[in-house]
Amino acid sequence: MTVLTDGQPQYSRADDFEEDEGANAIELFWGDKAGLADTGSTTSITFPASVAYSTDIVGRRIVITSGTGQGGIAWITAYDSTTRVATLGPTLSVAPAAGSGYLIIDATKPLTQRSVERLTQDGLLQARGEPCFYASLEHEGARALLLAPVPYRNSTGLVYVIHERYFAHLLKLDLEGAPITRTYLEWRSVYEAGLKAKSFADDNDDRETAQFVIYQKELKILIGNAANDGGQSDLQVHVTDY
């Protein structure tokens, strides 16, 4: 999750993703309601006293852009304008805290990947405005994104954020970091169902077929949740072994 800066086209990229064509997706989020939270929990966020939001924000998504809980995305399901507390759903993996940056999303769109040569040829690296394309860069093991047109906000208060979703390479993840912890929590039911199905299969247990159906169901629920969160409706379940 990266907040864009006017005039800056290049941004660092995560280095723990699995190289797989079609696996990555980069979205541009934007909105004009952004700031620093007073406090928060996994199911709510309290906005600062300086804002005067109305209940019109109910039904919009909110993303934690910096600080504790960075990268979390949820829907605003209710809002109390007196206490400035917004109720969130689904539950965030990490609660935002005082000082966590947030953005209430007005709109989103996917960015299209192009080569640097194509962006140069089309003159897009000299243009500025709302990014529509990106190119992948790599130098001495460091990965980056090159956005085009160059980010430039035409409206005062408008905030651009890019959100990259990708398949993480598990061998590259910090075993004590938030991503692997979130993976453990979200995949727990899949792990348990899959291991039980495998155990039944190894023992020639008659319960194998029924348990494998449970495993597939849990897997589809997990991927369905990820698809709804990131707008990737074309994700499919592929079970090759368990």
Amino acid occupying residue 4: L
Domain chopping of the chain, boundaries? 2-30+108-165, 33-105, 173-230
Per-residue pLDDT at 232: 35
Per-residue pLDDT at 158: 85
Distance CA 192, CA 94 (A): 23
Amino acid occupying residue 154: N
Per-residue pLDDT at 191: 83
Token digits of residue 182 = 């979130």
Per-residue pLDDT at 157: 75
Query: How is domain 33-105 classified at the architecture level of CATH?
Result: Beta Barrel (2.40)
Q: Which ranges of the chain have pLDDT less than 70?
A: 14-24, 154-156, 166-184, 224-242
Give Cα 195 to chain centroid, integer Å: 28
